[in-house]
Amino acid sequence: MAALDRRIVYHFDWTVFTLSLGLAAVGLVSVLSGTWGGTRHGLDPLVVRQLLWIGVGTALMTAVALLDYRALGSYAYLIYAGAVALLVVVAVAGHSTGGSRRWINLGVLKLEPSEVAKLALVLVMVRYMREEPPRGGWKAHQMIVPAILLAVPAALVLKQPDLGTALILILLTATLVFVGGLNRRTLIVLMLGAVLVAPVGWHYLKPYQRERLVSFLNPQSDPLGSGYHIIQSEIAIGSGGHWGKGLFKGTQARLNFLPEQTTDFIFAVFAEEFGFAGSMLLLGLYAGLIARGAWIARHARDRFGSMLAIGVTGIIFWQVAINIGMATGMLPVVGITLPLVSYGGSSLIAMMIAMGLLISINVRRYLF
């Protein structure tokens, strides 16, 4: 046992661990900056809670890294069922804020089950596709189960309503199914089906969600309404220039022009104060983490580990792409946090657990 412990420590993936903590540190500084001057004495409670969650997340990341990820395969459907049950609880008796019912109030922490659902969906999809695909790839009738596994949590998340997370669930499933070995003909059929279903999905969107999607094309058409978020975010990012205004000197956040400045639009807060150079550094940290995740997936010793690494890395990739895309006006505002950086206990802890899984996958390839 002692020899095994030494081997785990020796092969521990310090790259993923360090990049995760680096991004969390960027987030802590950004939350501090976004709330600076909001209270007369001491730190804002948001900063204190974020620091606490970083500590809890780091401990859980380390604990998960020491576990054997292969054991999760046996509990994948149970974990998935638990995540769905939590989403049902939210729908029935969840805590509402800003017109959305997304949280379960636990006192110390407002648990957001949709963050758990991302990991649970990845795990159950990987469990279903852990065997090599049949000759020619997965066919349409073999995608019925993944479609059902996706539809249940996606429908519950849309009911909250949370369009952004539902979109992430869809993209994660598409990524895993594609990488898992989808039949080419089936891929074409699914793409055509998605195009045909899109108008139906539009019908079920909330009015404000439709307005945000439409205003994406021309934010100036409603500068004080649906286009306000994009306009203010673009002003903040653009005013940062090459080197930024400096820590605590960003006016958009300081004067409360920028909405959701510690969550969905935290990138704009960071970009205003640290400029283009700082933004490139932040993107470099994400690029390093995504590249490391892809490397771990490629070198995993079994298909289950490889697919799991792809799913976990996919969460990072898609959330970064969509969050920064909407902050810069390149994508519609759909409500997605910046992983490991945005304020929020559930998202931060869930992402650190995911990073622990990446480390576990990489460590265990040396122990087989």
The segments of the chain whose pLDDT lies below 70 read: 1-5, 37-42, 98-99, 203-204, 217, 221-222, 224, 226, 368
- 291, 279 in Cβ contact below 8 A? no
Q: Where are the domains of the chain?
A: 13-364
Tokens of 75: 């509990």
Dihedral Cα 143, 149, 155, 156, nearest 10 deg: 180
Rg (alpha carbons) of the chain, rounded to whole number? 21
3-class secondary structure, 8: helix
Query: Torsions phi, psi of 101, nearest 5?
Result: -110, 95
335: left (phi over 0), alpha (psi -120 to 50) or beta: left
> What pLDDT, on the 0 to 100 scale, is given for residue 138?
79
The single-letter DSSP state of residue 221 is: G
3-class secondary structure, 110: strand
Residue range 311-327, pLDDT digits in tens: 999 999 999 999 999 99
> What pLDDT, on the 0 to 100 scale, is given for residue 152?
96
> What pLDDT, on the 0 to 100 scale, is given for residue 42?
63
- 365, 299 in Cβ contact below 8 A? yes
> What pLDDT, on the 0 to 100 scale, is given for residue 98?
66
> What pLDDT, on the 0 to 100 scale, is given for residue 2?
52
With the C-alpha atoms ordered 51, 319, 359, 126, is the resulting torsion angle positive or negative?
positive
C-alpha separations of 84 from 51, 100, 144, 260, 352 in Å: 29, 18, 18, 27, 21
CA nearest to 31, candidates 317, 337, 350: 337
Question: CB 14: neighbour CB atoms within 10 A?
Answer: 9
The single-letter DSSP state of residue 95 is: E
Question: CB 363: neighbour CB atoms within 10 A?
Answer: 22
> What pLDDT, on the 0 to 100 scale, is given for residue 5?
62
